[in-house]
Structure 1
């Protein structure tokens, strides 16, 4: 069960951090939804118990790539409470992305899950359409991101023309390969979180039933329907119970994070 929960945490984390839609993507982002200094903190709960915490922050990179300025994104995830006693997880993902296009130059990961450890260093050559990691070189076409950079790029995509039932494809590099995940737009709704109620865009990433998930299990992700486009909640059903991840704090946002007007509930 301990290992199963870690797998679930990874599935929800991918939906949270790597959300991206396969619609026409801009080559340049003139006005980003975030700024350097932003910090986001999340908590994942299994029932009433805290299972893990995740932290994301974006900084100005001290290193330039191809002579261009970059953002440095850091994503940390760790088990907490009783879960930390039985199966300790300490994962860090870092990405350096171009400030104009928000595409990645360099991605590193350092994952400690129980007695298992995995580290990788990945470079993205968008001119030659090749991704080079510790284990080899992988060709790609179109825009492919790493797991943190996909999250920040996605927040800048225009979603005003989304219709209920629209389905998109997510592509990012992780675990020595390009991963793909189908995501369906469910609609707009208000959702209650630890920080209050927010007007959100609701999505349903596809999951595969099996030993962890029931045949009818659903994974839902809520993203603020405002200029920030911040995931504030994720919920997934498992064989026994469910897991919920919520935003617990946000600092140095580019735009105010406003809760839904209670008079309009």
Structure 2
């Protein structure tokens, strides 16, 4: 759809924008419409990220937390254990878009002759959101139980007709990452390429669990944590700003939380200088209970709905 009228929003136009943001959150298509106005160039503003980009980027912000602020070489894990499961509901305003789950397998898995946590993140559309295209995504990591660094990362992306299957094998000692990309059938190897790493690194799943092993008690408001991770063949370096402590109500009870805001490059998808906030419980478990992103119109929310198998009760 293309409208060329130059004026302030009408209710009908707002509805179109709302629908377009949902479609771009859910589906793979790059651009559904263009609506120029006096205040904003909608051609730029509404060329929103696809579901693959937005959902993945959101998880990257939330879970890719590898910090140079802390000097622990081998962290002590008192925060999580085998069998933990965290479930979230993803919503846009009043519309429930998807369910998300973070799950640690109940048993140890061996990689490179060492015990590992097998951790999976699942994202799946539900209800009315499936009208715009079904999404069933899975990101996973094998996390060394001793070093809390990943040995293997994998992703299986199913969004409409789009498919992506990838495996990354990390050589943390020699600072290398071997990326294997598979065809849509997830059997035929499509490409293999090795990448240099700047040092020990996290993936978008393992980074969050690494953060949970660190001592956050001494952080002062305004301090920054450096995010460094490897994803989609790129090194990510993002500053995470600590804002302080807040007590909030959640589906699993009232929780005192740490608040973080990632510094995000300027773009037309998010609104404001620090559009995303993450609430992490101020207890031994350090689990995320809420994530909120202010979009161009409205906000996207991840809210915890239940937590099972926590290490500390």
Q: Same fold (TM over 0.5)?
A: yes
> Displacement, 1:97?
1.3
Choose which of 191, 195, 199 in structure 1 pairs with 2:252: 195
- Give the aligned partner of residue 150 of structure 1: 207
Look up the match of 2:186.
none
Aligned mates of 2:268, 2:153 — CA distance in 1: 31
SS at match of 1:64: strand
Q: CA RMSD, aligned part only?
A: 1.8
Stretch moving more, 178-187 or 9-18: 9-18
Query: Offset of 1:30 from its aligned partner?
Result: 3.5
- Corresponding residue for residue 229 of structure 1: 286
- CA gap 1:70/1:217 in 2 versus in 1, 3 angstroms: closer
Deviation at 1:27, TM superposition (A): 2.7
Q: Which SS does the other structure have where 2:56 is aligned?
A: helix
Shift of 1:24: 2.8
2-structure distance, mates of 1:246, 1:176: 29
Shift of 1:210: 3.0
Paired positions, count? 256
Structure 1 position 41 matched with structure 2 position 90 = no
Please give the alpha-carbon distance, in whole angstroms, between the structure 2 residues aligned to 1:217 and 1:249. 27
Query: 1:18-69 CA distances to partner (integer Å, 9 max, x unpaired)?
Result: 2332223423234431010111101111001111111111125564223211
- TM-score for both structures, normalised by structure 2: 0.77
- Structure that is richer in strand per residue: 1
Aligned residue among 124, 149, 153 for 1:78? 124
The gaps in structure 2 that reach 5 residues or longer are 1-19, 27-50, 181-191
Work out which of the residue numbers 13, 19, 26 in structure 1 matches 2:59: 13
Which structure has the larger Rg?
2
Once residues 156 and 224 of structure 1 are traced to their aligned partners in structure 2, the CA distance between those partners, rounded to angstroms, is 13
| Runs of 4+ with deviation above 6 angstroms | none
Query: Structure 1 pair 98/237, CA: closer, same or farther in 2 (3 Å)?
Result: same
> Taking structure 1 as the reference length, what is the TM-score of the superposition?
0.90
Gaps of 5+ in 1: 257-265
Q: Distance in 2 between matches of 1:235 and 1:215?
A: 13
The answer to whether the 8 A contact 1:61-1:96 is kept is no
Matched, 1:238 2:238: no
Equivalent position SS for 2:110: coil
> Secondary structure of 2:55's match?
helix
Q: What is aligned with 2:7?
A: none
Aligned to 1:260: none
State the secondary structure of the residue aligned to 2:105.
strand
Residue 48 of structure 2 is matched in structure 1 by none
For residue 3 of structure 1, the aligned residue among 24, 48, 65 is 24
Which range is displaced more, 161-170 or 2-11?
2-11
CA separation in 1, counterparts of 2:255 and 2:143? Answer: 29
2:228 partner SS = strand
Q: Residues 217 and 24 from structure 1, CA distance in 2 versus in 1: closer, same or farther, beyond 3 angstroms?
A: closer
| Deviation of 1:191 (Å) | 1.8
Alignment partner, residue 166 of structure 2:
120
